[in-house]
Amino acid sequence: MRTHDDTWDIKTSVGATAVMVAAARAVETEQPDPLIRDPYAKLLVVNAQASVLWEAMLDEEMVAKVAALDTEIAAVVEHMRSYQAVRTSFFDTYFAAAVADGIRQVVILASGLDSRAYRLEWPAGTRVFEIDQPQVLAYKSTTLAEHGVAPSADRRAVPIDLRQDWPAALRAAGFDPTARTAWLAEGLLMYLPADAQDRLFTQVGELSPAGSRIAAETAANRADERLDQIRERFKKVAEALGLEQAFDVHELIYHDPNRTVVADWLNDHGWRATARNAGDEMRRVGRWVAGVPMADDKQALSELVTAERM
């Protein structure tokens, strides 16, 4: 269970979820017509040796075995992989628009195994700050360096927990609070209590002059009863296939019914924000997966929010 001062590396707790997301990006990269291309995702997954469950996502034969056992769980797995690709593409486009507008300072909050500092084409002079747990950042930096992969921007690792004084650490790494900045909170908010989410956005606002931008993936609001049913079925499938489930991702998430609506909060605090339902975005790009339990429940899906500082 989560605690206010818990920590992790790439094989445990929230850190291991970064491997899951990287596995989904690796699968997408190998599709005939991928939405995104991440040539480093598979490398980061395999070298992590975090969980055979995540590595199994890379094996299409294993996915077929899941379908033979439970078609709905197979649809959930396919949905998750497609969603990660859509989410990644959405925020890649956000960054492309930000640098096209002249922004040259980027901050990725809880960056995990995000490889944008390496795989995107950044204009000369762009600084990309990555904030995350020290062991997570160290694993990514070391693994990619050992395989001859260099950043495509001026990448600045900021090894600190977001529950600590990360603004001070960010400044110490060379962040300029007077420069327009493009922020990203992807795959993060669900791992924060509601009050910590508000505090994070308050701190970002204090560091953002007019013209800065922020993008965020909101925490979804799934029905507990349906979620419990899916978890149990997923567990049975994993056991049947001999896949070790080291932890339950949903136990890492803060389910807070009083969590503020991100776009509304931003609009009330000096930003101009818009939100797009993730399901709508998946349908727009032709990646919606039929047969998933949340098909008729928009609240069960995240929103993809973008905003500009006024």
Indicate the pLDDT class of residue 6, thresholds 50, 70 and 90: confident
- Which residue ranges form the domains of the chain, and what is each CATH number? 13-309 (3.40.50.150)
Phi and psi at residue 162, to the nearest 5°: -65, -10
Give dist(CA 170, CA 50) in Å, integer: 29
DSSP 189: G
Give dist(CA 293, CA 73) in Å, integer: 9
Judge contact between 95 and 122, C-beta under 8 A. no
Look up the pTM and report it. Answer: 0.91
For residue 303, list its beta bridge partners: 277
pLDDT digit string, tens, across residues 259-275: 999 999 999 999 999 99
Tokens 């997954």 found at: 45
Tokens 């992590």 found at: 48
pLDDT digit string, tens, across residues 141-192: 999 999 999 999 999 999 999 989 999 999 999 999 999 999 999 999 999 9
Give dist(CA 191, CA 204) in Å, integer: 17
Tokens of 14: 């929230």
Tokens 């990646």 found at: 287
Q: How far apart are the first and last CA of the chain?
A: 39
Give dist(CA 208, CA 228) in Å, integer: 40
